[in-house]
């Protein structure tokens, strides 16, 4: 499971009579989340903990000032030991391998952080069983707005202690308890202190073994959470039994912007239940119903209320076993979501022969930035309809057609799209049965200055391309100045010797200032080419990762 490191940037604000202790915790980003609630990472320089005391503080007793300085030095040493920095009003100890001793040091640090707004100790196993030592200090950090405890192996006692402590941090806006199985069956113990008027905006409970009873409680709680913007209940399959209660509660969360129910065991009936809530979620920006394999057939009669989601920007229905009738119903709805920016319909193989009208009508989504239709068993007619529609998607940044064999020999149908896609950053054509003519066409498009913004290009598992094709491609890939990742790996069952095109690739890399990774799995380099690669690595001294042959 990948993680997004979430840091906040310094805003440089100063306050009169700021204490020496809090100089390293200036400014907060808790107030400035993006609309989609994805907190971006921004590195900041640590504030100077050991700055000269401000003139306004000279009146403080010398003993207290000495004690504060000593504490700050200990705090700084603690963070340096963990490879961390003090950033704004944020204490980020995410994935630090905290030991029991580290936990004690962190608890001792909290009394000196009264302005702390963000605490992240996720992915630290030793937090489990010791959380009470932190919750006992919660009253000292009452301004806390963000608390992340994902994958901390919390125990039942931890969960209970947390529930009792939450009333001490009334400013809390974000709570992440994902990947803690003991949360399941104990959710009321944690959230019972949330009252009407709570400021909570984001609740993440991914893979928490939530029970049907937890779902019922959550449904009853939701009407009190009028500020809620993000609710993630993904990978909790047992909540499907209380989906009626959750849907009823969702009708009262009119400010909700993100709803994630990925892999929740949703069925055909679930779509009908959720459909009754959609009309009340006019502010929803992201809806994730992916990886619910029993969902297929659910949209046949109940997609109507999806149209009410006028502001929807992200719709994820990948691996939902969509039927031909589902696709027909969605054809009437998806093209009307004019603000849609990301659409993922991948791994729905029955789309292959039934999605011609749907794909054709994607032309009516001018804001679409990401279109993922991999492994949909597209046929010639459906691919042709998609190719014709894609010409009108001028904002497209991500285009994934991987594992659709019909693309092979027919890439020319996308010629106009590739020429007109001024914003395209990611193009994935893995396992598309591409032939030499397809790669030659792609090389020609690149040579004429198109695809200039491309950052990631995946041509892996296309083993039918001959050495002449790879030569043409490698001679022209140097024009992709913003390329970061390139993958031309072979299938797991296939090994081939590199041809002379490898020299062209090495030369091209010298002209690509952003490139960091080249996937060449199962391509075998002869000894002479191995030496060339070693010389290249030594001469260029660049952090480029060549993944080739049987080795890296």
User: What mean pLDDT is predicted for residues 446-457?
Assistant: 96
Domains of the chain in sequence order: 397-551 (3.80.10.10)
Among 292-306, 381-395, 481-495, the range scoring the smallest mean pLDDT is 292-306
Give the sign of the dihedral formed by CA 32, CA 38, CA 41, CA 42. negative
| Confidence at residue 302, expressed as pLDDT on a 0 to 100 scale | 66
Residue where the block lists tokens 């400013």:
171
At 496, the pLDDT band (50, 70, 90 cuts) reads: very high
Q: Is the pLDDT assigned to residue 180 strictly greater than 50?
A: yes
User: What mean pLDDT is predicted for residues 106-120?
Assistant: 90
Residue 251, burial from CB neighbour count under 10 angstroms (0-12, 13-18, 19+): middle
For residue range 53-77, list pLDDT tens digits in order.
Answer: 344 444 455 665 665 566 566 666 6
Closest CA to 438 of 391, 416, 470: 470
Of the chain, the percentage scoring pLDDT greater than 70 comes to 82
Q: Is the pLDDT assigned to residue 32 strictly greater than 90?
A: no
Taking only Cα atoms into account, the Rg of the chain, rounded to an integer number of angstroms, comes to 27
- Residues near 279 by Cβ (< 8 Å), separated by ≥ 6? 305, 308
| Confidence at residue 551, expressed as pLDDT on a 0 to 100 scale | 46
CB 478 within 8 A of CB 508: yes
For residue range 280-323, list pLDDT tens digits in order.
Answer: 999 999 999 999 999 999 998 766 678 889 999 999 999 999 99
Among 57-61, 124-128, 463-467, the range scoring the smallest mean pLDDT is 57-61
Dmax (CA) for the chain in angstroms is 82
pTM for the model: 0.85
Continuous H helices in 182-226: 187-191, 212-221
User: What mean pLDDT is predicted for residues 438-447?
Assistant: 97
For residue range 359-379, list pLDDT tens digits in order.
Answer: 999 999 999 999 999 999 999
Q: Is the pLDDT assigned to residue 18 strictly greater than 70?
A: no
């Amino acid at each position: 499971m990948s993680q997004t490191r979430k840091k906040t940037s310094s805003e440089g604000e100063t306050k009169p009579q700021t204490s020496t202790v809090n100089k390293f915790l200036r400014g907060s980003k808790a107030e400035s989340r993006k609309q989609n609630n994805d907190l971006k990472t921004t590195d900041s320089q640590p504030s100077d903990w050991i700055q000269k005391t401000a003139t306004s503080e000279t009146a403080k007793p010398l003993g207290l000032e000495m004690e504060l300085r000593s504490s700050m030095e200990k705090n700084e040493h603690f963070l340096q030991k963990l490879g961390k920095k003090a950033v704004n009003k944020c204490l980020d100890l995410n994935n630090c391998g905290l030991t029991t001793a580290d936990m004690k040091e962190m608890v001792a640090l909290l009394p000196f952080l009264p302005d702390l707004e963000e605490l992240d100790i996720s992915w630290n196993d030793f937090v489990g069983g010791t959380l009470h030592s932190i919750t006992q200090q919660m009253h000292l950090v009452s301004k806390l707005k963000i608390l992340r405890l994902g994958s901390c192996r919390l125990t039942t006692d931890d969960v209970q202690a947390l529930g009792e402590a939450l009333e001490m941090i009334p400013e809390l806006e974000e709570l992440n308890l994902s990947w803690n199985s003991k949360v399941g069956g104990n959710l009321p113990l944690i959230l019972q202190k949330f009252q009407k008027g709570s400021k909570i905006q984001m609740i993440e409970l991914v893979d928490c073994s939530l029970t049907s009873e937890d779902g019922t409680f959550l449904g009853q709680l939701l009407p009190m959470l009028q500020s809620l913007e993000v609710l993630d209940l993904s990978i909790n399959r047992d909540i499907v039994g209380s989906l009626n209660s959750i849907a009823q509660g969702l009708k009262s969360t009119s400010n909700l912007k993100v709803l994630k129910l990925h892999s929740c065991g949703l069925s055909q009936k679930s779509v009908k239940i959720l459909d009754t809530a959609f009309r009340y979620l006019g502010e929803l920006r992201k809806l994730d119903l992916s990886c619910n394999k029993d969902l297929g057939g659910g949209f046949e009669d109940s997609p109507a209320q999806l149209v009410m989601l006028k502001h929807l920007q992200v719709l994820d229905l990948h691996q939902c076993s969509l039927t031909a009738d589902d696709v027909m119903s969605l054809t009437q709805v998806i093209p009307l979501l004019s603000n849609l920016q990301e659409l993922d319909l991948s791994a729905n193989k029955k789309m292959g022969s039934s999605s011609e009208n749907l794909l054709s009508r994607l032309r009516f989504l001018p804001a679409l930035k990401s279109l993922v239709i991999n492994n949909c068993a597209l046929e010639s007619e459906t691919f042709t309809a998609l190719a014709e529609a894609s010409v009108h998607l001028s904002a497209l940044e991500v285009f994934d057609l991987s594992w659709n064999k019909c693309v092979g020999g027919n890439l020319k149908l996308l010629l106009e799209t590739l020429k007109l896609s001024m914003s395209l950053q990611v193009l994935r054509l893995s396992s598309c049965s591409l032939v030499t003519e397809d790669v030659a066409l792609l090389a020609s498009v690149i040579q004429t200055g198109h695809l200039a913004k491309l950052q990631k290009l995946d041509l892996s598992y296309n083993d039918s391309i001959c050495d002449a094709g790879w030569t043409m491609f490698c001679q022209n890939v140097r024009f992709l100045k913003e390329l970061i990742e390139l993958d031309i790996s072979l299938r797991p069952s296939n090994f081939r010797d590199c041809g002379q095109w490898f020299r062209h690739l090495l030369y091209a890399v010298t002209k690509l200032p952003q490139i960091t990774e080249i996937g060449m799995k199962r391509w075998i380099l002869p000894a002479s080419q191995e030496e060339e690669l070693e010389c290249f690595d030594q001469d260029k001294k660049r952090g480029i990762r060549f993944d080739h042959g049987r080795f890296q």
